[in-house]
Structure 1
């Protein structure tokens, strides 16, 4: 392994307003894999280059199931903020923390649900929700787009797709807000556990209602799978998967939208091109996600056998963390990776992951960001940041990457 550009293990997850991309560039230059330390003190292996990242994300001996961790990881390290870990602990193993064959049954079910004819109606629903949120912004001189637009839109869309009744959405939103890392200030452990418990109670009740009286929504599809041919699926795993879809469709989509707005507003040439051509904007979503997606890193993986990545042999039972932000700016894969170019061919960026855990909701996420950006830029042609870009405070609390807030002028 090449000499490191900083003391090893690399310390990860410290809050920072600094640009992390320069640090990742130095790490990539030094080598593809580095020993690193998570915020809780856990030592892992950090993958920074594209080729090794893509290999790791699809490697059959790298599992996302913490059950494969060695005894030193008896208490699985903190990851993905409170929601995913707490919800899995309370309900069961969701699809992200499952391996084949259990993973395949859950994944195939969700794939079918996202691929049904109802997906043709998503655009109509997304446009309605976005237009309503923009109407609420109108007349306000300096709204804050993260909490005032992006998060409410994302929650409303995923609630619609899952089939959460309007009467329950206020309660769900209250609990969800206590779990997400808005402003880089996650809830206290007790508050997070209480909120996770409330989300589980709401989703369990809904799940059982849908099982008794299915509707045309994704939660009904999950509920009907409890007794599908081939043997019943565990109710807890299905509910945990529904909760995973809720939070990945909420927090990460909202952060992706805000990151995209920021990166366009600070680049007048790219903003002008996006305004001039809705078709170009639609195709630009992948470039915006490559350049600064909402995920700093993928879910933690555990080696079930010795794995060689680059020039490093990682023993069985070790913890591996793939940096999505770093891999997506690897110059060996992307020409001029530090330049945002919305006319760039999409390429095989890793913002949605790769392999069996590739984000199943990627088409919906792309649609939400496209519609929200197009309508936001069209309705407010004078949209600009309310502060200098250097004053924006970013949190770098892994695995998410987002500004703490997004104040704008309309």
Structure 2
């Protein structure tokens, strides 16, 4: 639209300039022609006193400006419009106070200008349409490349390390989009290397800690009964759990985990797991469904969500199965705003009103495992009077024929 508007303004300005220039040029040509005709008529009149070319001597209708010029002994031309039609006059002083003059109507002048205006309008419209079409083609191509670049950039931000913006935008064109794609790819490569290095360091540290921590747990079990021994065993077990969680987070960050998918009857699976993980929690089935998932990873997600609800929330803890959607709700103070805004973050246990045991890795692991399963895990706070935090897991539903019997 901007290019079309600019094209229209430029075409209008050029049309006005051309119209005025053509009008002035044709008027000057008409003046010169009349001046030449009056000179020819004057020479013939002086030689044989005969008037030709409709010339007149001392014409009473001679315009006042020409009378004034003749009084000064000047030869002149004058254009007078009658009913919008230009009339070109010319006069020339003669001896004995005589003035020879003639005039001629120029209907062709108005017609030529009208035709010229039509051509200018048609040309201007053609220029505007051509400019708009060209702008749509060029701008559309640039816009498509930018949209493809945006989609690829979102994929990179979503954790797909193999996606490259320059490949997504298509053929190489030396324009701003190509420069932007190159810059984004370089940034993605640099960030990927840094994240990989951090993940590798974290995994190496956790791996090296497993052996001494295992030994520490074993040694703690050999301590004589008593309160000090119980505290040592408890802290040693917590340290072992932390090391295992850090290793799991490192593996999930590496995007190398693969799920072993199988069809699972979700209601029965949830009932059995909840009885073992959190017997005090209630299970409600709104709608049965079979899901395509990895049971081991799904159990890990459910366990972490229940542990988070029991540890940071407040009873009763409710588990709802609604088709392929699994919800875990507590009745505590709810998730902190930073978690709802930014998502789970490792070693961040939330605000003080949800403080307690744990290292902030449970929801991080649950989110990573959900990503491996191709599921989505969302967090929100209940908006009713009871309050509480709600974690909602949406699993891929299995496509089963109605004739298939549950296993």
Q: Please report the TM-score for the alignment, with normalisation by the length of structure 2.
A: 0.21
**Which is strand-richer, 1 or 2?**
2
Compute the TM-score of the two structures, normalised by the length of structure 1. 0.21
Q: Which has the higher contact order (CA 8 A, sep 6+)?
A: 1
